[in-house]
Amino acid sequence: MNPENFVINGSQSIYKALKAIESNKHGMVFISCDGNSIKGIATDGDIRRFLIGSGTLEDPIYKCINKKFIWEKIGTPRELLLKKLDNKTRVIPLLDDEKRLISIISRDYAPTVDEESIYARARSPVRISFAGGGSDLTHFFSGETSGAVINATIASFSHALLRIRNDQKIIIKSMDLDATLEANTLEEALSIKGEFGLLQALLKLINPNFGFELYLNSDFPIRSGLGGSAVVASAVLGCFNEFRRDQWDRYEIAELAYQAERHHLDISGGWQDQYASVFGGLNFMEFRMSQNIVHPLRVPDSTLLELEESLVLCDTGLSHQSGEIHQDQNREIRKKNIRSVLEENVKLSYQIRDELLRGRLREFGTLLDKAWQQKRQFSKKITNTVIDKIYEDSIANGALGGKLLGAGGGGFFLFYVPPYKKYQLLDFFKSRNFTYQSVRFEDRGLQSWKVRESKSHTPNELQ
């Protein structure tokens, strides 16, 4: 609907106003006495009454003006406009701050909202594992043997924000790395050497045909044993997935995250981190060459709440390189005695699953200790005298069992402590100045969503 067909200068004749009314077919014109802002309205009824009196077709239209007319500002909510049209209003002009006519709404013409600029957000949770780590390595289950792990995601996230640009420029800002990557094209971004290897591997897979800004931050420290690289990868994939017409499903996102880290970056490791972060919740996972399956566990709420209160994360203060440990573990797995221990650890995953489903948490704590005693045999790089001392002292101060998360060598210990021993254990951590935190399960995995920029920010904030 062209606004020009509805506006006439007040000095023009009634005859020309009637020609405009005939043209716009809405029975009215808006009168602009200064050639710009709207001063009033004249309907065919207003003109007819004027002509019945003493008026002529050559009189200026401003003699028919009605200055009390219904109008709204541009940007008025669509809902309000539709309600006003319900009250027998035929036409509603939309005016700007200078009362210039910008658009017109009628019962026959109420266009939908134009597409606006949007950005995508995503967040993905970290995981804590209870048993079976190492059996998710392809080297382990490549034959007849199956791998099995049991893990849960907790309320600690990697966050990503993706905004598409109008050019081909790429800007990536990572709070975790305290670094920024800027490039004029995707090809240039992939060629830059530095700390952005994981993100560059993801971009090779995604192959975006647009420029973008990507902002990243995490609630947890890097190299903490919480599967951080997989968590970051899934959050990034979640953002890009929001702009796909044919969206990846959860298995596909986990596979892409695995491919970027294991194949493109050639970092050794298993499969569980990617699946845990993408699917979320408390899961029992089975790994075979034919397929990987994620089984959500339906544990009673009371059991989960008690388990949360009985678990404590303790930071060893030691960072680790999981890829190096996994490489060593891959070599060790080929030894018959180590493989047999890992097979026992898989059986332990089934036992822990059963104890959780039955709500027998004391048995769970005991099995957690057994899982650690087995895990520390997989590679000489998994533990050391400092880590062993932390574990022994924690057991002496009330913990029933625990295990080092991730590949090992540092990061976080997860301890299970009975209710009446918890404060003794926490006092011990305080006496050693260890950083510790409680556990809160997160039953949702990767979450991603889109937001209209105009609904969350002013234009100046987007510069």
Per-residue pLDDT tens digits for 349-368: 999 999 999 999 999 999 99
Q: Which pLDDT score is estimated for 389?
A: 94
pLDDT category at 27 given cuts 50, 70, 90 is confident
pLDDT over 90 at 79, yes or no: no
Neighbour tally for 11: CB within 10 Å: 12
Task: Clarify whether 273 is annotated catalytic.
Answer: yes
Query: The whole model's pTM is what?
Result: 0.80
Which of 46, 136, 273, 328 is an active site residue?
273
pLDDT category at 266 given cuts 50, 70, 90 is confident
pLDDT over 90 at 415, yes or no: yes
Q: Which pLDDT score is estimated for 304?
A: 96
Per domain, the residue ranges of the chain are: 3-106, 119-438
pLDDT over 80 at 103, yes or no: yes
Q: Which pLDDT score is estimated for 90?
A: 80
**Farthest CA pair distance, the chain:** 112
Fold (topology level) of 119-438: Ribosomal Protein S5; domain 2 (3.30.230)
pLDDT category at 264 given cuts 50, 70, 90 is confident
Q: How far apart are CA 214 and CA 162, in angstroms?
A: 5
Mean pLDDT of all residues in 303-317: 94
Mean pLDDT of all residues in 407-414: 78
Per-residue pLDDT tens digits for 163-196: 999 999 999 999 999 999 999 999 999 999 999 9
pLDDT over 70 at 287, yes or no: yes
Fold (topology level) of 3-106: CBS-domain (3.10.580)
Own/partner pairs for 354-357, CB < 8 Å, 24+ apart? 356/150, 356/282, 356/297, 356/299, 356/303, 356/307, 357/297, 357/298, 357/299
pLDDT over 60 at 339, yes or no: yes
> Do 403 and 372 contact (CB within 8 A), yes or no?
yes
φ and ψ at residue 265, rounded to 5 degrees: -95, -15
